[in-house]
Amino acid sequence: MRKKIIAGNWKLNKTPSEAVAFMQSLMPLVSNTTNMVVVAPSFVALPAVLQAAKDSNIAKDSNIYVAAQNMAAHEDGAYTGEVSVLALKELGVLSVIVGHSERRQYYNESDSSVNAKLKLARKHDLGVILCVGENLAEREAGQANQVVAEQVKAAFAGVEAALIEKLAIAYEPVWAIGTGKTASSADAEAMHIHIRKTLAALYNDELANGLSILYGGSVKPDNIKELMAMPNIDGALVGGASLKAADFSALVNFDK
């Protein structure tokens, strides 16, 4: 039985003090959930969020995991402005988002870079949320399945099955994020099935069926129950709805 994962990607939002206040509001609201909760602050807010979780009595038994939104494809070196996996590990970060659609779109992140980051994160036992997804032009051209399969294959190139542990995939239909268009639960389910079939061809059925696949296309309190009812949707990667404790906790507690 795959665990449900609700991950909040804060993107370029929240100062360190705002992040601490958010965590103090959120933790009591999600303390009784059996779902896994992930928050991904900006780099500068990571230490404050980690400390807030550590300082809280609630957090001693908390299932809130702190993730980074990105990391460098290199351990160290002359890469100004980048953040090393070694630094993230030392802080106590447990996982990292790799290949987010905004990194691919705005910063020209390539499939080979995504692959290098995934390998480096797993080398250092850092969990990974790997993002894949097609844009509107690709979907309207009937290329969605091909594009997503190619992204999955490229990301996992040279990755041994033993490294798949602590890894989840997030399907982001880029065309359904902030465009006014929406992906139906059936659309999302169909792509999640396609991703599992792609993984099964790369590895085996057992691995494909054991991997959590999250949905990341404008998830909100009013559509999460329908999405989570789909047998192949194992959680959500949430953007805007993760910025308010009440909204995000409603997503985490969708099954209450």
As a dihedral over the C-alpha atoms of residue 108, residue 111, residue 116, residue 122, rounded to 10 degrees, the angle is 110
Which of 22, 14, 18 minimizes the C-alpha distance to 42?
Answer: 14
Q: Which residue has the higher pLDDT, 63 or 251?
A: 251
Q: Taking 80 as the threshold, does the pLDDT of residue 22 lie above it?
A: yes
The encoded tokens of residue 21 equal 């206040």
Q: What is the pLDDT of residue 180?
A: 62
Residue 43 DSSP code: G
- Angstrom distance (rounded) from CA 209 to CA 120: 24
The hierarchical CATH code for the domain 5-252 is: 3.20.20.70
Please tell me the least confidently modeled range out of 27-31, 86-90, 244-248. Answer: 27-31
Q: Is the pLDDT of residue 187 over 60?
A: yes
Q: For the chain, which residues make up each domain, given as ranges?
A: 5-252
CA 29, CA 42: separation in Å to the nearest integer? 22
Nearest of 88, 102, 105 to residue 49 by alpha carbon:
88
| Active site positions, annotated | 100, 172
Whether the Cβ atoms of residue 142 and residue 186 lie closer than 8 Å to each other: no
Mean pLDDT, residues 201-207: 96
